[in-house]
Amino acid sequence: MEITLNEVKRREKGLKIINQKIKNDGVDSLIDLTGLAGGFDLTPEDISLLETYAGPAVFDEKIQELGREHLGGEKILPLNRTTSGIVGMIIALVKPGTKIVHYLAKKPGHPSIPRTAKLVGADYVEYTNLDDFKIDDNTSLVVITGTTMDLEVISVDDFKTVIDQAKAKNIPVFVDDASGARIRRAVYDQPRAIDLGADLSVTSTDKLMEGPRGGLMAGSTELIDQIKLVVNQYGLEGQAPLVAGMIKGLEKYSPDRIKEAFKQKDELYQKLQDKGLNPQTTPTGFMFKEDEIKNEVDKRTSTGDVSADVVATVYSMLLIDNYNIITIPAVGMPGASKTVRIDWSAKDSEKLSMDELVDAIVDTFDKVASVFSSDSVEQVLYE
Ligand X SMILES: *Cc1c(COP(=O)(O)O)cnc(C)c1O
- Rounded Cα distance between 127 and 145, Å, is 11
Nearer of residues 176 and 210 to ligand X, judged by Cβ: 176
CB of 145 vs ligand X, minimal distance in Å: 5
**Minimum gap (Å) between residue 178 Cβ and ligand X:** 3
Taking the least distance from each CB to ligand X, the nearer of 8 and 333 is: 333
Quote the distance between the C-alpha of residue 315 and its chain's center. Answer: 20
User: Judged by CB, which is closer to ligand X: 116, or 179?
Assistant: 179
Residues counted in the chain: 383
Number of residues that bind ligand X (CB under 6 A): 12
Q: Which stretch binds ligand X (CB under 6 A): 47-55, 81-89, 119-127, 346-354?
A: 81-89
Query: What span, in angstroms and rounded, lies between the C-alpha atoms of 103 and 226?
Result: 24
- Of 89 and 149, which CB lies nearer to ligand X in the complex structure? 149
* DSSP output for 307-355: -HHHHHHHHHHHHHHHH-EE-HHHHSPTT----EEEETTSGGGGGS-HH
Q: Segment near ligand X (CB under 6 A), from 80-88, 91-99, 186-194, 292-300?
A: 80-88
Contact yes or no for 313/329 (Cβ under 8 A): yes
Helix H or strand E encompassing 280:
strand 280-282
Q: Which residues contact 197 (CB under 8 A, 6 or more apart)?
A: 160, 163, 164, 167, 173
Question: From the list 34, 82, 303, 313, which residue makes contact with ligand X (rule: CB under 6 A)?
Answer: 82
According to the binding rule CB under 6 A, does residue 81 interact with ligand X? yes
Helix, strand, or coil here: 287?
A: strand
β-sheet bridge partners, residue 282? 285
Told to check if 149 binds ligand X by CB under 6 A, we report: yes
Of 11, 13, 184, 213, the one binding ligand X (CB under 6 A) is 213
Dist. CA 187–CA 332, nearest whole Å: 26
* Nearer Cβ to ligand X (114/255): 114
Nearer to ligand X, 216 or 268 (CB): 216
Residues of span 160-189 touching ligand X by CB under 6 A = 176, 178-179
Q: How far apart are the first and last CA of the chain?
A: 18
C-beta separation of 148 from 106 below 8 A: yes
Among 98, 139, 145, 339, binds ligand X (CB under 6 A): 145
Measured from the CB atom, the residue of 15 and 57 that comes closer to ligand X is: 15
3-class SS of residue 149 = coil
Q: Which stretch binds ligand X (CB under 6 A): 13-21, 143-151, 291-299, 347-355?
A: 143-151
- Contacting range for ligand X; rule: CB under 6 A; set: 1-9, 40-48, 75-83, 122-130: 75-83
Does 83 interact with ligand X (rule: CB under 6 A)? yes
If the CB atoms of residues 80 and 98 are measured against ligand X, the closer one turns out to be 80
Q: How far is the CB of 320 from ligand X (least distance, A)?
A: 21
Nearer to ligand X, 206 or 321 (CB): 206
Torsion on CA atoms 67, 73, 74, 76, rounded to nearest 10: -40
Q: What is the C-alpha to C-alpha distance for residues 273 and 381, in angstroms, rounded to an integer?
A: 28
Cis geometry, peptide bond prior to residue 56 (ω within 30 degrees of 0): no
Applying the rule CB under 6 A, the residues between 96 and 135 that interact with ligand X are 110
Nearest CA to 133 out of 88, 178, 176, 169 is that of 169
Minimum Å gap between C-beta 371 and ligand X is 30
Name which of 90 and 371 has its Cβ closer to ligand X: 90
Q: How many CB atoms lie within 10 A of CB 155?
A: 13
204 binds ligand X (CB under 6 A): yes
Minimum distance of ligand X from residue 267's CB (angstroms):
26
Q: Which stretch binds ligand X (CB under 6 A): 141-149, 239-247, 292-300, 362-370?
A: 141-149
Q: What are the residues binding ligand X (CB under 6 A)?
A: 81-83, 110, 145, 148-149, 176, 178-179, 204, 213
